Amino acid sequence: MRRCPMSEPKPMREPQLLLCADMDRTVIPNGAQSEHSQARKQFAEFCSQPQVTLVYVTGRHQQLVKQAIKNYSLPWPRYAITDVGTKIYRIVDQQWQLLQAWENVIEKDWNGKSHGQIKALFDDISDLQPQESGKQNTHKLSYYVSLHVKQADLLSLMAQRVKEVGVQASLVWSVDEPKDIGLLDVLPENATKLHAIDFLRQQLGLLRDEVVFAGDSGNDLPVLGSAIPSVLVANAAEDVRESALRLTQRNGTHQALYLATGNNAHMNGNYSAGVLEGVCYFVPAFREQLKQSGFCCEQ
Q: Which residues bind Mg ion (CB under 5 A)?
A: 22, 24-25, 216-217
SS3 56: strand
> Which residue spans within the chain are E strands per DSSP?
17-21, 52-57, 79-82, 87-92, 95-98, 129-130, 141-145, 169-176, 181-188, 211-215, 230-232, 257-259
Taking the C-alpha atoms of residue 223 and residue 195, their distance in angstroms, rounded to an integer, is: 9
Q: How far is CA 99 from the centre of its chain?
A: 16
Choice between 65 and 169, CB closer to Mg ion: 65
Residue type for position 100:
Q
Tell the smallest beta-carbon distance from residue 205 to Mg ion (Å).
Answer: 28
Choice between 213 and 282, CB closer to Mg ion: 213
Residue type for position 128:
L
Choice between 128 and 224, CB closer to Mg ion: 224
Tell the smallest beta-carbon distance from residue 178 to Mg ion (Å).
Answer: 14
Tell the smallest beta-carbon distance from residue 59 to Mg ion (Å).
Answer: 8
CB distance 168 to 189 below 8 Å? yes
Tell the smallest beta-carbon distance from residue 95 to Mg ion (Å).
Answer: 26
Tell the smallest beta-carbon distance from residue 82 to Mg ion (Å).
Answer: 13
Tell the smallest beta-carbon distance from residue 215 to Mg ion (Å).
Answer: 6
Taking the C-alpha atoms of residue 82 and residue 64, their distance in angstroms, rounded to an integer, is: 10
Give me the residue whose beta carbon is nearest to Mg ion. 24
Choice between 22 and 109, CB closer to Mg ion: 22
- What DSSP letter does each residue of 59-89 carry, written as one string? SS-HHHHHHHHHHTTPPPPSEEEEGGGTEEE
Instruction: Provide the 10 A C-beta neighbour count for residue 130.
Output: 14
Choice between 86 and 167, CB closer to Mg ion: 86
Choice between 118 and 273, CB closer to Mg ion: 273
Taking the C-alpha atoms of residue 159 and residue 151, their distance in angstroms, rounded to an integer, is: 12
Tell the smallest beta-carbon distance from residue 235 to Mg ion (Å).
Answer: 10
Choice between 192 and 217, CB closer to Mg ion: 217
